[in-house]
Amino acid sequence: MPIFPSQLASAAEPTVIVLSWDGVRHDYLDRRDFPAIGRMQRDGVRAERMISVAP
């Protein structure tokens, strides 16, 4: 039995991880071998069309 009600609610919530790299070319992850990031892209979400705020 949880001591605090928030413990019970948080146990059912999924964990969300957001990775954001500033100043990295759009094709950088495709040109290197990053197995863990590749799995996250296949099993999760990947933005295909982002607009950079930097030139």
Q: How confident is the model at residue 4 (pLDDT cuts 50, 70, 90)?
A: low
Cα–Cα distance for residue pair 50/36, rounded to 1 Å: 22
pLDDT for residue 5: 62
Cα–Cα distance for residue pair 47/52, rounded to 1 Å: 12
Does the structure show a pLDDT above 70 at 29? yes
Residues 32-55: pLDDT tens digits?
788 888 888 788 877 777 777 776
pLDDT for residue 52: 72
pLDDT for residue 1: 55
Per domain, the residue ranges of the chain are: 21-50
Number of H helices, E strands in the chain: 3, 0
Residues 16-28: pLDDT tens digits?
888 777 777 777 7
